[in-house]
Amino acid sequence: MIPTARTQPPGTFEILHEDAHTGARTGVLWTAHGPIETPIFMPVGTQATVKAIDPRELHEMNAQIILGNTYHLMLRPGMDIMATCGGLHRFMGWDKPILTDSGGFQVFSLAGLRKIKRDGVSFQSHIDGARFFMGPKESMEVQRILGSDIAMAFDECIPWPCDEAYATNAVHQTLRWARRCLEEPHAEGQLLFGIVQGGEFTELREYCAKELVAMGFDGYAVGGVSVGEPEPALLKGIADGVRHLPWNKPRYVMGLGDLWQMTQAVSLGADMFDCVIPTRNARNGSAFTRSGPYPVKAGEFKSDTRPIEEGCTCPCCSRVSRAYIRHLLNVGEILGVRLLTLHNLHCYLTFMQEMREAINADYFAQWKEEQTRRLRPDGIRARGA
């Protein structure tokens, strides 16, 4: 699958194939814990675990890289324990690549519990209310101790809607902090990605992207999308950000998303994605399929003997029925949540695998059309199809 004969140094990004009709491309990004194939979906494992899933199972479903979170791990278990336990990989028993988010998203999601200052953000812990400070320096220090393969710059993720003055200010803040992150020491072989902000303002996105590129990061992310805006605005934000990023560096769209949105983003030239949706929504009872999501806990699946998704080869679908999963979810059995999470991740991962194959074999545009027909048939979501 990966054509390179020998191991490449961390940060090497080999572009394998470019689509003739869109911005899509396949590639391999090398990290200190091995290569990842792009376009890729990265399961989210905020608190040193992809919720409900064992790393062994992640291996089995061919997950190549997962996320961890600076903010959460700093609070619990804390960096002294992380250091004693030898970093995040050793701690959680996962030896493939890890990307850590910087805590920038918590500036957005914990808006009621923090105050933004010039050098960083003073947070009040969502756990016990304890006050602490996190800025670019602190975030990088934590990410260094965690020993992630890819660290993210500490940024200010803004909400939607957001006025231009506020967004401009957040971009300046993000750039100032990005510069600071670059100056901080990294872990051995650790890559650092900068994050493009700018909200819905095209010129701001452009400015932010160009400034970051001038600083020289190992990769670039588009942040501040999928924060509640309507889909067209989301896609525009991605396009505005990706457009100005260097061709030869990986491009990561943060927080995406939905299968269809990812195909659109890849088409615009994006390479990496992460999203809590397949895992969180599994816990909340919805199944993702190649024909869209549906609520397995709905009464209509009470005695449905079909698997969650027909034709799926995941450990859930190859053994049990919708009726069984619905029953487990209904009575609150932990296995229900586990099996459905397994399925949803499998669905996302195989979707990306197929997408890479389509790009490599030069039929991405056609494949994308097919997916659109299945995932967005007149805007109506399929229900257990």
Partner RNA sequence: GGUGGGCUUCCGGAGCGGUCAAACGGGGCAGACUGUAAAUCUGCUGGCUCACGCCUUCUUUGGUUCGAAUCCAAGGCCCACCA
Active centre residues (catalytic): 101, 274
Which residue among 94, 105, 160, 217 contacts RNA (CB under 7 A)? 105
Cβ–Cβ under 8 Å, residues 213 and 244? yes
Which residue among 283, 350, 365, 376 contacts RNA (CB under 7 A)? 283
Q: Cβ closer to RNA: 102 or 263?
A: 102
Binding range to RNA, per CB under 7 A, among 57-65, 205-213, 327-335, 362-370: 327-335
Phi then psi for 45, rounded to 5 degrees? -130, 60
Q: Cβ closer to RNA: 24 or 50?
A: 50
Tokens of 260: 């269809």
Residue 286: CB atoms within 10 Å? 19
Encode burial over 337-369: b for 16+ CB neighbours within 10 A, e otherwise.
bbbbbbbbbbbbbbbbbebbebbeeeebeebbe
The rounded distance, in Å, linking the Cα atoms of 40 and 150 is 14
Q: How far is the CB of 45 from RNA (least distance, A)?
A: 7
358 alpha carbon, distance to own chain's centre: 21
Cα–Cα–Cα angle for 340, 44, 98, rounded to 5 degrees:
130
Which residue among 38, 64, 69, 173 contacts RNA (CB under 7 A)? 69
Alpha helix locations (H) across the chain? Answer: 55-60, 70-75, 79-84, 87-92, 104-109, 136-146, 164-183, 202-215, 231-242, 259-267, 277-283, 322-331, 334-360, 364-375
Q: Cβ closer to RNA: 17 or 283?
A: 283
Binding range to RNA, per CB under 7 A, among 6-14, 64-72, 78-86, 184-192: 64-72
Which residue among 113, 182, 233, 235 contacts RNA (CB under 7 A)? 113
Q: Cβ closer to RNA: 15 or 215?
A: 215
Tokens of 298: 């709905």
Q: Which of residues 194-253 bind RNA (CB under 7 A)?
A: 195, 221, 223-224, 226-228, 231, 234
The rounded distance, in Å, linking the Cα atoms of 54 and 66 is 12
| # chain residues binding RNA, by CB under 7 A | 59
DSSP code, position 290: T
Cβ–Cβ under 8 Å, residues 345 and 43? yes
**Is residue 112 within the footprint of RNA (CB under 7 A)?**
yes
Q: Cβ closer to RNA: 32 or 53?
A: 53
141: left (phi over 0), alpha (psi -120 to 50) or beta: alpha
Which residue among 13, 30, 108, 160 contacts RNA (CB under 7 A)? 108
Q: Are strands 219-222 and 191-196 parallel, antiparallel or unpaired?
A: parallel
Q: How far is the CB of 43 from RNA (least distance, A)?
A: 8
Q: Which of residues 348-367 bind RNA (CB under 7 A)?
A: none
Binding range to RNA, per CB under 7 A, among 16-24, 80-88, 293-301, 310-318: 293-301
Binding range to RNA, per CB under 7 A, among 11-19, 30-38, 104-112, 238-246: 104-112
Binding mask 152-191 for RNA (x = CB under 7 A): x--x-x----------------------------------
SS3 content of the chain, % helix, strand, coil (to 5): 40, 20, 40
Cα–Cα–Cα angle for 138, 142, 146, rounded to 5 degrees:
170
Which residue among 275, 312, 316, 355 contacts RNA (CB under 7 A)? 275
Binding range to RNA, per CB under 7 A, among 41-49, 78-86, 238-246, 372-380: 41-49
Residues at the interface with RNA (CB under 7 A): 44-46, 50-52, 67, 69, 72, 101-102, 104-106, 108-110, 112-113, 126, 152, 155, 157, 195, 221, 223-224, 226-228, 231, 234, 254-258, 261, 274-277, 279-281, 283-286, 295, 297-300, 302, 330, 332, 334, 337
